[in-house]
Amino acid sequence: SFFTEIRTKCWSSLSFYDWCIICMKSKYSPHDCRLLTGSILAHELMHGWLRLKGYRNLSPEVEEGICQVMSYLWLESEILPASTRHAQPSTSYASSSSSSSYRPPSSKKGGISHTEKKLGEFFMHQIANDTSTAYGDGFRTAYKAVNKYGLRQTLNHIRLTGGFPV
């Protein structure tokens, strides 16, 4: 599929120029491409962040898994209304500095169309049900860990052990 084609290239071999071409050729409108582009950027920026922070020798499953989680969380933050995001009450985001969980941006999402929401849900479904070891199994293990321990603690654990907390 289109999504798989993009994702498997993972931007390691895909330049921004290539990306623009694929976007233009795709059946999605440029507007719809926003979600896909954003989710890929979230994934790739996480690779960059891991490098910058000195995370080394991660297995593909751990590295791609946590990157897919960032992609997924970004999509979620884009398409879900603030009230339904994660189990945590939204007030704890602002008040608690000790909270280690992912904190979605508090931007307004009033302008999102039904089609865009459906597309976002489709991408999230693709991420969650990916059958590959690195991306699919990696994501599911990472997502479970992040929901259980929070993003920061999961990342600390990865840094120390190279694996996900269970």
Residue 45 interacts with Zn ion (CB under 5 A): yes or no: no
Is 103 within 8 Å of 152 (Cβ atoms)? no
In Å, what is the CA distance from 131 to each residue of 69, 120, 134?
Answer: 15, 19, 9
- Residue list 78-117, contact with Zn ion (CB under 5 A): none
- Residue list 46-75, contact with Zn ion (CB under 5 A): 64, 67
From the list 9, 10, 41, 147, which residue makes contact with Zn ion (rule: CB under 5 A)? 10
Q: How far is the CB of 103 from Zn ion (least distance, A)?
A: 23
Please say which residue, 70 or 151, places its beta carbon nearer to Zn ion: 70
d(Cα 77, Cα 102) in Å, to the nearest integer? 10
d(Cα 38, Cα 18) in Å, to the nearest integer? 16
Using CA atoms in the order 62, 63, 66, 69, what is the torsion angle rounded to 10 degrees? -120
Please say which residue, 18 or 30, places its beta carbon nearer to Zn ion: 18
Please say which residue, 64 or 116, places its beta carbon nearer to Zn ion: 64
Which residue number is nearest to Zn ion in terms of Cβ?
A: 10
Q: Name the site residues for Zn ion (rule: CB under 5 A).
A: 10, 64, 67
